[in-house]
Copies of this chain bind each other. A is one copy, B any other.
Amino acid sequence: MARKKSLDNGPVLRGRILEEASRLFYERGYAATSIRDIADAVDISSSTMYHHFANKQDVLHAIVSRFMTDFVDATVPVLRDPALSPTERIRRAVCLHIEISDDRRPELLVGNPIRYALNPKQKEQGIKLQSAYHDAVRDTIEEGCRSGEFSVRDVSITTMAVLDMLNGVREWFAPSGPLTRSELIDRYVEIVMTVLGARSAR
């Protein structure tokens, strides 16, 4: 039997657990993955696992919440940067949205039952982080409309349409496909600017 890692090195080990767990959830599904499977993948004992997480739901929540926190930390300061024009902020947010979703695809848990597996308090925290991003995009579109850079009939609905469009990419984009990631980003920047009636796209 392989030597199991000891309890020290908390944050690093925690990170490794989340990494292996998201890979397993992504490959096999949440329901088919046990705490034991995760412990085996990290090469630690189940009791070390339980030292870090009370149960599988806790692991799922930690993955979702770490991902969403990182996503918000990367995008919101750009979207709220008064030194950049709304067009430039949206352009950078489209790039970041697609890049982060692609780099960290397993953590997005596409197709897994997050809605059902998390408890209300855990879900609430996720929704709060989602809102921070959503609101920053909406406010930027609104500001762009005020400054005349964008021209949009319904800011709220357009925001949802843009976010849904960007969220969809992770479901089908394959870097082995006809477009490289940076070509894909170019196309999406152009489509988003068209949706926003951007001066640059007119």
State the CA gap A184–B168 with chains docked (Å). 20
* Residue from the list B30, B164, B195 in contact with A195, Cβ < 8 A: B195
Chain A at the B interface: SS class: helix
Instruction: Mark interface residues in A103-119 (1 if CB within 8 Å of B CB, else 0).
Output: 00000001111111100
State the CA gap A112–B112 with chains docked (Å). 6
A113–B164 touching, CB < 8 Å: no
Cβ of A191 within 8 Å of any chain B Cβ, yes or no, is: yes
Instruction: Mark interface residues in A80-109 (1 if CB within 8 Å of B CB, else 0).
Output: 000000000000000000000000000000
Within residues 149 to 175 of chain A, which ones have a CB less than 8 A from any CB in chain B? 153-154, 156-158, 160-161, 163-165, 167-169, 171-172
A161–B168 touching, CB < 8 Å: yes
Q: How far is the CB of A144 from chain B (nearest CB, A)?
A: 15
Oligomer: number of copies:
2
State the CA gap A111–B160 with chains docked (Å). 18
Contacts of A194 in B (CB 8 A): 194-195, 197
Q: How far is the CB of A56 from chain B (nearest CB, A)?
A: 12
A161–B115 touching, CB < 8 Å: no
Cβ-closest chain B residue relative to A153: B190
Cβ-closest chain B residue relative to A177: B156
4 more A-B contacts (CB under 8 A) besides A29-B115, A31-B117?
A31-B31, A31-B116, A164-B168, A167-B168
Question: 7 A-B contacts, Cβ less than 8 Å apart?
Answer: A28-B116, A111-B116, A157-B184, A160-B169, A167-B168, A168-B168, A194-B195
In order of increasing CB-CB distance, the 8 nearest A-B pairs are A164-B168, A29-B116, A111-B115, A157-B187, A165-B165, A161-B165, A31-B31, A164-B165
